[in-house]
Structure 1
Amino acid sequence: MGCCNSASGAEGGEFLNSKLKDSVENGPLKKFTYYLALKSSELKGNFNIDLLTFKNSENDSVNLLGLCFIFGRLDIVKYLIEIYSASFLSMEAHFHKHATSALHIICEHNYIEMMEYYVPIYLNLKPSLTSTPHRNLRETINLGDEPDDKISDLSDLSSQSEEYITPIQSACIHGHISIIKFALNYASSLSKVPPEIDIHYIEKSTGYNCALYACKSANYSMIKFLHLICKADFKILNNNKENAIQVMAAEARHKNLVEFYQCLVYLVEKVQIDIKYNYEETIVLLEYVKAVDYFLSKLEILGIKGDKKKVEEEILVKAPYKKEESKFDTDNQFVLSDIFNDLKNNDTSTIKGSEGNGSFSDDGTIIIKEINI
């Protein structure tokens, strides 16, 4: 991605645009107002604050007001609204082209003062918006340290998989408890909480709520806050019929989740996730020896004796397995339920579960990511 280096055609002038961008990035308000006055004078009667845009090498753009949101410049936002009557609708239209919104930017970067300022404005603005913002979920949750990465990152969003997240879910993924706390308090005063700030909202495309996203990130502080303070529901299943532990274990297979074990213990002992549910799948997904031993010990207390190696060997014996594609995951996947049903019916020693323990769904279909065993 290239740097922002030009404005839209009618409002050219690379030098002033560069100075404006620099002053938004790290300059005082006085410096910004100086260069904006020069820009206004340069364009005379043709100056329109909402049409002043900044482009990168891929020809993607964000307007000046949006640029201020990206860099968290609430002081400049207020100035543009008061002096130039800048349009939030125009800004959101630019963000919409990149499958994001101002609220997503705020929640992702933990701009708490901007959150407090913009949420009431957004709720009044929402009826005029063409669609509700749902951002594509990215694999990485860290933007680069370079300022231009914050802008060029916008162009990456439209190419992501169709796994959508709401702004408040983005805050959960990034571990921003202050944003969650504000949303919780603000929502308490509303008769109907919009999905954008609803901690309990379940995204239809994935079946995820904030609780499951916190588990996917294995963020212990966030999990504990959502459980104790927000009373979030950790016991739902996502659209792949995976519970909170399975979601976290699947993510840990390709990411280093530092607080994984701590989160696992909390989910089992404090949240009391039903560990009997598709426990064979959980055994297969778990990789850390300490986590596997802990999970098996908890199963044994319930009268279920399991052995990870034997479970995996049984799966290999039942191969080949049926492969399916998921709309929300580009990885190969396979269906374990048929294999596990056979194991339950023919088991003589390795896995002993009681009938009706809720380990399998009614239709017998559980889809999880393909793994190497």
Structure 2
Amino acid sequence: MGCSNCGSRTSREEEVLCRIKLSIKSDNPINLKELISLFSYYTGHKVEEFINEKILRVKKKYLNLLSYAVWSGSKNCFEYLIKNYEASFYLMEQFLDKDACEPLSRICKKGYIDLLEVFYPKHLEYQKALKSKQDESYTIDFSFVVHSLEIQLTPIQHAVRNGHMRIVKYFDKFYEGEEAPNEVKLHYIDEFSGENCALVACQTGNLSIVKALYEEYNADFHVINKRKEGAFQIIATESKYNESLEYLECLMYLTDVVKVDITYMYEETLLLLENKVFIKFIEGRLKEKGILTSKKELENLFKIKKSPIKPKDLKDFNINIEEISRIIPFSAESEFQSDPITFKEPKEEIVLF
């Protein structure tokens, strides 16, 4: 089913569609009923012919009425369209998925808790039906696989990132005593990013969210992601773009209460930090651990390490790796080889006439 009703329209039809959008956005099902009847009259189409069609333009996309109700977080209109017009939940999910607007993620990201309570049970039925359909077919939907790779956060991680703890509480209660699906599991570690809800909370610098996750749900803040970053490196990175003191409060809370290892990759943490107050705090805590260092010392040290040895210098002195090791301590991780370093003169080009 495509967008067969998205062709040229009269000014009256366009006006009614604008009013339908406004009615759904304001979650007013009473006005919606009258406007749907009016659109049917102007177009000459029966309601069942267009109720599931993508007739509402939203930015560069077209949505059907039920999709727009989900997009807008309109619980009353969502229920009204399904109950009174038998709007298809299945088609709504399909349309939004194909447009890379996965509905559950949208609801969690925006914090539409009232809509979630009526949407989620239907979503589970849809997922069950979809799985049953896929089991009957041996065809692999590669477009679905690619789309899933593009999603960087799970729905519940979207909720955490945007501070919607009521969403987190809903899923925790919904699956009380049961194993929740990964998309709404608080402790799930994403297989691509290696991050869980705890690390996502660190990105926000929202202390109340960090505390709630740890104290109410025992979230694991000791996780290391795929980039080898822990909670402190994530906070240090984010604080470069937002110098809110809440990031410092998060650092203090994770250090003193959660007991996250402050010595893990402490050099990177200090090098990433730019706020002097943050730097002083980390340096002080490291000193308590017996690590006497500073951001300034590390910057000077890394400048020396990054200074390249020019090939010209090596050629002039014709030194080999044994001689280099007297200047630069050899380690198992060194890229230098034990063979002497030699430089070949460029060969003359032979031109064939």
Answer yes or no: same fold by TM over 0.5.
yes
Alpha-carbon distance change, 124 to 56 in structure 1, aligned in 2, over 3 angstroms: closer
1:217–1:257 contact (8 Å) kept in structure 2: no
Q: Is the alpha carbon distance of 1:242 and 1:118 closer, same or farther for their aligned partners in structure 2, counting shifts above 3 Å?
A: same
Paired residue secondary structure (1:164): coil
Residues in 2 aligned to 1:44 and 1:61: alpha-carbon distance in whole angstroms: 20
Greater Cα offset, 87-96 or 20-29? 20-29
Do structure 1's residue 47 and structure 2's residue 49 form an aligned pair?
Answer: yes
2:213 aligned residue (216, 222, 226): 226
Residue 345 of structure 2 is matched in structure 1 by: none
Shift of 1:72: 1.6
How do 1:1-373 residues align onto structure 2 when only pairs under 5 Å count? 8-9=6-7, 13-26=13-26, 28-41=28-41, 42-44=44-46, 47-56=49-58, 58=60, 60-129=61-130, 162=150, 164-190=152-178, 192-319=179-306
Asked if the contact 1:23–1:32 (Cα under 8 Å) also holds between the matched residues in 2, the reply is yes
Q: Considering fraction of residues, name the structure with more helix.
A: 2
Closer/same/farther in 2, CA of residues 11 and 320 from structure 1, 3 Å limit: farther
SS at match of 2:35: helix
1:40 CA displacement: 3.1
Q: Distance in 1 between matches of 2:274 and 2:151?
A: 25
CA apart distance, 1:223: 0.4
Q: C-alpha distance in 1, partners of 2:59/2:280?
A: 51
Identity %: 32
Report the CA distance shift for 1:100/1:30 in structure 2 as closer, same or farther (over 3 A): same
Q: Structure 2 counterpart of 1:237, which letter?
A: I
Distance in 1 (alpha carbons) for counterparts of 2:8 and 2:53 = 9
Q: Secondary structure at the match of 1:55?
A: strand
Once residues 88 and 256 of structure 1 are traced to their aligned partners in structure 2, the CA distance between those partners, rounded to angstroms, is 44
Q: 1:179 to 1:300 in 2, by over 3 A?
A: same
Distance 1:259 1:63 in 2: 42
Name whichever structure is richer in strand by fraction. 1
Quote how far apart the aligned CAs of 1:310 are.
0.9
1:135-166, Cα deviation, whole Å (9 max, x unpaired): xxxxxxxxxxxxxxxxxxxxxxx99x946111
Shift of 1:14: 1.2
Structure 1 distance, partners of 2:230, 2:48, is 57
| CA–CA distance in structure 2, aligned partners of residues 114 and 57 of structure 1 | 22
CA deviation string 1:6-52 (max 9, x = no partner): 96239873122111111112263211111012223431276231114
Equivalent position amino acid for 2:261 in 1: D
Cα deviation for residue 171 of structure 1 reads: 0.5
Secondary structure of 1:127's aligned partner: helix
Alpha carbons 1:63, 1:91 under 8 Å: kept: yes
- 1:191-221 CA-partner distances (Å, limit 9, x unpaired): x311221111111111111100000111111
TM-score by length of 2: 0.76
Structure number with the bigger relative contact order (C-alpha 8 A, sep ≥ 6) is 1
1:292 partner letter? I
Given that 2:156 and 2:168 are in contact with CA atoms closer than 8 Å, whether structure 1 keeps it comes out as yes
How many Å separate the matches in 1 of 2:150 and 2:56?
A: 27
Q: CA deviation at 1:247?
A: 0.9
- Name the TM-score, length of structure 1 as normaliser: 0.72
In 1, the alpha carbon distance for the partners of 2:72 and 2:58 equals 16
Cα offset, 1:98, TM superposition: 3.0
Q: Tell me the alpha carbon deviations over residues 336-363 of structure 1, each in whole angstroms, 9 at most, x when there is no partner.
A: xxxxxxxxx97xxxxxxxxxxxxxxxx9
Aligned mates of 2:280, 2:245 — CA distance in 1: 18
Distance of aligned partners of 1:55 and 1:222 in 2 relative to their CA distance in 1, 3 Å threshold: same
- Whether contact under 8 Å (2:27, 2:76) holds in the other structure is no
The total of aligned residue pairs comes to: 292
Quote the offset at 1:245 in angstroms.
Answer: 1.0
Query: Offset of 1:97 from its aligned partner?
Result: 2.4
Greater Cα shift, 273-282 or 35-44: 35-44
Indicate conservation of the 8 Å contact 1:104/1:167, yes or no: yes
| 1-structure distance, mates of 2:199, 2:191 | 13
Q: 1:256 to 1:11 in 2, by over 3 A?
A: farther
Between structure 1 and structure 2, the one with the greater Rg is 2
Aligned mates of 1:189, 1:206 — CA distance in 2:
27
Task: Specify whether residues 56 and 27 from structure 1 end up closer, same or farther in structure 2 by C-alpha distance, changes over 3 A only.
Answer: closer
8 Å contact 1:7–1:14 — kept in the other structure? no
